[in-house]
Chain A
Amino acid sequence: MSQELSTTTRANLDIKVKHLTRVEGHGNIVVNMKEGVLEKARLEIVEAPRYFEAMLKGRSFHEAAIITSRICGICSLGHQITSLKATEQALGLEVSEQTVLLRKLLIHGATMQSNILHAYFLAAPDFLKVGSVFPLVGTHPEIVIRALRMKRLANDIGDVVSGRAVHPITPVPGGFTRIPTAGELKELKRRLLEDMYPDLLATVETLKSLAGAIPQFERETEYISLRNDDDYAMYDGDICSTDTGRVPDTEYLEMSNEFIVPHSTSKHAKVNRSSFMVGALARWNNNHDRLCELAHTAAGALGLEPGCCNPYMNTIAQVVESAHCAIESIAIIDRLLGDGLKDEQPNQEPTKYGTGIGATEVPRGILYHEYTYDRQGRVTAANCIIPTGQNLANIDDDMKKLVPEIIDKSKEEITLHLEMLVRAYDPCISCSVHMLDVDFIE
């Protein structure tokens, strides 16, 4: 392009990427430099607001998870599980150990599917310098077929355990409407061992060969994720910050202060600094000691180290984590089969009507739901805090540090670096503009 400048004293730069591709939802990248001063460097969220509070108000506890899972198709399982946990706490519904194990299995499946989708379909085209995964069907068929096989298996965990991978059906307050059969679980385990395991090793090899395409950029920030004493925290745990340590999930509002900015239909968030990061890289930095051996082998091969503060490495952390999810899925299936599957009915007799909180690690970071119910079991107040909303301020801060560092590159290269940065966060913009975070007590 003729606008390219090769001098080291670029004075003016004007970048506007409308409706960034290969991310979920609608966002614009805007960078504006005038006479050597960076005036704007930010991700604008222009997704249409959804107004979920208008949908939830007065709704039965049977419907809350059905509605909130529609905040996002990609994160529907995460919303559903988090919603169920909040509802069960509010209504005093105990769930069985089998229910918890099946939910953990679902979270591992959904995390694998989302991480694989992001690494192969949304991020990898940048590493291979193509505009989408589709040209790779011709040039790298084995990679595309492998990605589809991995995604299929991850989705099949959702189909088998929750009735459907997108907007799951069978998880309900108090349990499941259908328990998978032993035969179905055995088949999943066989495929995890025979297909997923070698595919993960091959994925690491492929990524190793592309590692040079990952930009070198670092910005130290606050990393927040769940953490517990038992496992690599996904289903539950305390809220853990690299700055201030662990607090119980009841303090989630302090750990995710939200505020409105005019350039985004999604609210932003900050805690101890101007921004913080959630997601796979935050989980890695907080909980790498809880990962299985295969995940550590993958991390070693791909150069992911504890304390990593290169946001582009989030994609690598997702792949490392997927290895852990596969191994844990096998362990959970072994335990379910060892204990013997019980054909339980969901426990749906409330013992109280109050307020409950759910905090879960979903692929893009910590997700919080909180509901209050009246004595008829109807929603009177609700609050959802979404991972992508928590990351937006961090993305803007990254851009502000990144642009001056790469200002000598061509405008096209700068734009690509910025697009790759936003994609590395795997933002889920539909989620972030759910617009639910208001109490509507009359």
Chain B
Amino acid sequence: MADKPRVAIFDFTGCEGCELNQLNFEDQLLDILAHVDIVEWREAMDDRADEYDIAFVEGSLSTPDCITRINEDRRKTKVLVALGSCAVQGGVNGMKNTRPIEEVRQEVYGDHKYLFPTLPALPLSSVVKVDYNVRGCPMTQIEFLKVFTALVMGQEPIEPDHSVCVECKLKENECVFEKGMICLGPVIRAGCDAHCPSVGQYCTGCRGLVSQPNLKGMEDILVEHGLSVDEAWKRLELYNANQLEGMRS
């Protein structure tokens, strides 16, 4: 079975919820293990490896050590897949970038701030080449299985670039705005089957922006539904502060 792809799983700055979601494939885990050899996964196993075919990487980069490690990981792998919103677009960690970094460090550690080096939280793609994305917070499980299957079959995974609204309409959900709530679905990338609107919550934007978002239009709708302009941008920044930097007109 030497030709099974060798898979490694790594984590940087994040909550490890995406990795946990991989252990949560209870119904598929044994099938997954039949098709690949997992050669390194610190959260679940002791083994370490020197090279691999596919690396799944969770978390954003936020310390000098992260930058060193991601460069090492990139050299050791043929394919690198970013897992979840922290890795793909910086995720919630990006919110700290909206304030001066020295101010943030001072607040948290006071005089001890230089004990713990920190950088602005960055998506993986700002430091190394990322081949594919599995988006979401936590990473969308159905999308992971699609990307995983495509890679194991030697196919090219396809990343959706239409808005959550498309999937929400296909599910025949009542529009979230019609319920007196706000929603970010119009500018957020689909692929989650509009899960949050389908269980009564608004789309909070975890899967990142579509490639050409109409942000002014989004701002107008949010303001029309009761948010201030500032509050509208705060809601958009929750997972997407890195992407939105400098885009507010």
Q: Do A and B come from one complex?
A: yes
**A interface list, Cβ under 8 A from B:** 19, 21-25, 46, 48-51, 53-55, 57-60, 63, 66-67, 70-74, 76, 117, 121-122, 125, 131-134, 137, 144-145, 148-149, 151-152, 155, 163-167, 169-170, 172, 176-178, 260, 262, 265, 430, 435, 437-438, 440
Contact of A155 among B12, B18, B26 (CB under 8 A): B26
What range describes how many residues of B lie at the interface? 35 or more
Interface SS of A by simple majority: loop
**Chain B, 2-16, contact with A by CB distance < 8 Å: what is the 0/1 string?**
000000000011111
Q: How far apart are B35's CB and chain A's nearest CB, in angstroms?
A: 13
Is A177 in contact with B13, judged by CB distance below 8 angstroms?
no
Is B107 in contact with A58, judged by CB distance below 8 angstroms?
no
Given A53-B107, A60-B231, A63-B238: A74 touches B20 (CB 8 Å cut-off):
yes
Pairs across A and B, CB under 8 Å, 12 listed: A22-B45, A49-B62, A55-B95, A59-B234, A72-B16, A73-B14, A73-B20, A121-B23, A149-B26, A151-B23, A164-B138, A178-B199
Q: How far apart are B119's CB and chain A's nearest CB, in angstroms?
A: 9
Given A53-B108, A71-B15: A121 touches B92 (CB 8 Å cut-off):
no
Is B15 in contact with A151, judged by CB distance below 8 angstroms?
no
Contact of A73 among B18, B27, B199, B204 (CB under 8 A): B18
In the complex, what distance in Å separates the CA atom of A164 from the CA atom of B105? 33
Given A21-B45, A22-B46, A54-B99: A166 touches B14 (CB 8 Å cut-off):
no
* Cβ-Cβ contact count across A and B, 8 Å cutoff: 166
Residues from chain B with a CB closer than 8 A to the CB of A59 are: 234
Residues from chain B with a CB closer than 8 A to the CB of A23 are: 43
Nearest CB in chain B to that of A56: its residue: B95
Is B45 in contact with A134, judged by CB distance below 8 angstroms?
yes
Residues from chain A with a CB closer than 8 A to the CB of B13 are: 48, 50
Residues from chain B with a CB closer than 8 A to the CB of A176 are: 200
Given A131-B46, A169-B201: A70 touches B26 (CB 8 Å cut-off):
no
Q: How far apart are A435's CB and chain B's nearest CB, in angstroms?
A: 5
B47 at the interface (CB under 8 A from A): yes
B73 at the interface (CB under 8 A from A): no
Contact of A260 among B21, B24, B109 (CB under 8 A): B109
Residues from chain A with a CB closer than 8 A to the CB of B201 are: 163, 169-170, 172, 177
| 16 further contact pairs, Cβ within 8 A, besides A49-B108, A152-B27 | A21-B45, A46-B65, A48-B62, A49-B116, A51-B96, A54-B107, A55-B92, A63-B235, A73-B16, A73-B17, A73-B138, A122-B44, A131-B47, A134-B33, A144-B30, A438-B108
